[in-house]
Amino acid sequence: MTKKQVITIAGGGSTYTPGIIQAVLKDSERLPLEEIRLYDINQERNDDMKLVIDFMLKQEGHDNVKLISTENPAIAFTGCDFVFSQIRVGGMKMREQDEKIALKHGLVGQETCGLGGFAYGLRSMGGLLEVVGYVQQYAPEAWILNYTNPESIISEAVRRQYPGIKMINACDMTISIEDTMAANYGYDHTNWVSSYYGLNHFGWYTEIYDKELKRDIMPELIEKLISQKMDVTDANAGDTSWQEAFGMMSVITKDFPTHIPNNYLEYYLYPDMVVEKADKNYTRANMVMNGREKNTKEMANKIREGKTEDVLNFNFGVHGEYIVDMATSILNDEHRRFMLIVPNQGAIPNLREDAVVEVPAYVGATGVEPISLRNPIPDFHKGLMEAQVAAEKLLVDAYFEGSYQKALQAFTLNQTVPSARVAKIVLDEMIEANKEYWPELS
């Protein structure tokens, strides 16, 4: 029998925790549970979440599972088997700054893309390296399954400081795109074997083989995308900004119909359109603060007041299931296929070896086995990716070297930025706004 597992959630107070626990409990046969530990630097959020998760455990008949919330890394990590990482250094308030400062200067203002993503990267690297350091100290055998953004930058930074780290970096966007396409166009994505390459939030599908239909259905999906925009179908149903994001997949596919794009490419291919549509005073961070964040707080308050009817009536869908599938695949050596963020090392043969790329990979007891594309990728994608990889690498250099010059080069090279002048203005303003979080740059 599989040993019961201790799972620590770094960023326990995150709005995604209930969805992840929902998925963990659904899969408790493949992932038997001893203990859940919520680790967070914000005690109030973490204690609220403990209340919610405690209620979930009881409701679902798992009251034998131990549950703690703690700010103490020794308690959080000692002897744990898995760390699910989902911290947000600086919180939504700083996400708001990232988005608004960039937009104020006419640039894309986004959580993980453009200069907002770079600002977040310079905050996030320190926080995540700290978490990884604790895991190395207190549970060096544990697997870290990381969702913390911005993923490519985080992955690059962690691998520089801890080569050989037992960490898997994953993004839920490809599974969410597949889930949404299948629901809109009448397929079952659990039959799909997808091939894809790119960087995180920056990639393209090359084939979607349907095992039931026994053919590559990407050509027909491309036609459908071009003729009919998708509706959001998952946990974000009804959310207007996700509706627009999925809609942009049709715009991109119409212009570039050789592949199915990741929706996040809109920020690099059509930054002008994105900025035009944006509300500079009410950005995505505001929507999330007034939506998901508020709802999570309300959930805890309702439980506190005993108004528990319908409180768990949610479905976070693929986000939680994806990370849980990774854990079970390691634990039970299942060799399931995921899209993962890994060092290139030849997976994309004509892209630099040391790029951090997103490609299909199999996951088992020995870790991650990425597959190689074998064929070179086209110049259009390669050119875009090379600039982005270089910009991300310069940003990570800036972090480790405390270099203003490297940060300015990274900001200038970012594909959403038209001029070094505006890159410098935004960088200087972001340095001021991030005093508490960024390393000193000189």
**Interface residue list for ligand NAD (CB under 6 A):** 10-11, 13-16, 40-42, 45, 86-89, 91-92, 127, 130-131, 147-149, 151, 171-173
Question: By CB under 6 A, which span of 166-174, 185-193, 298-306, 430-438 interacts with ligand G6P?
Answer: 166-174
Biggest CA–CA distance in the chain, Å, is 62
CB of 318 to Mn ion, least distance (A): 12
How many residues interact with ligand G6P (rule CB under 6 A)? 8
Minimum CB distance to ligand NAD smaller for 151 or for 325: 151
Rounded CA-CA distance 185/249 in Å is: 14
Determine the Cα angle at 38 with ends 37 and 44, to 5°.
145
Spatial separation of the C-alpha atoms in residues 400 and 129, rounded to whole Å: 11
Is 234 noted as a catalytic residue in this protein? no
Residue 65 C-beta: closest distance to Mn ion, Å: 28
Residues whose CB is less than 8 angstroms from the CB of residue 279 and which lie 6 or more positions away in sequence, other chains included: none
Cα–Cα distance measured from residue 13 to residue 26, given in angstroms and rounded to the nearest whole number: 21
User: Is residue 187 annotated as a catalytic residue, yes or no?
Assistant: no
How far apart CA 178 and CA 233 sit, in angstroms, is 11
List, as one string, the DSSP characters of 101-138: HHHHTTS---SSSHHHHHHHHHHHHHHHHHHHHHHHHH
Our finding on whether 392 is near ligand G6P (CB under 6 A) is: no
One of 38, 167, 171, 225 touching Mn ion (CB under 5 A): 171
User: 73 or 271, CB closer to ligand NAD?
Assistant: 73
Side-chain-side CA neighbours of residue 251 (13 Å): 15
Helix axes 114-138, 420-433, angle to 10 degrees: 50
Question: Least distance (Å) from ligand NAD to the CB of residue 296?
Answer: 7
How many whole angstroms separate alpha carbon 393 and alpha carbon 331?
33
**Between residues 42 and 308, which has the closer beta carbon with respect to ligand NAD?**
42
Q: Residues 81, 98, 172, 325: which is the catalytic one? A: 172
- Binding-site partner at residue 284 among Mn ion, ligand NAD, ligand G6P, none, CB < 5 to 8 Å by type: ligand G6P
Q: Does 284 bind ligand G6P (CB under 6 A)?
A: yes
Residues that bind Mn ion (CB under 5 A): 171, 173
Which residues are annotated as catalytic? Answer: 172, 264
Residues that bind ligand G6P (CB under 6 A): 111-112, 149, 171-173, 284, 288
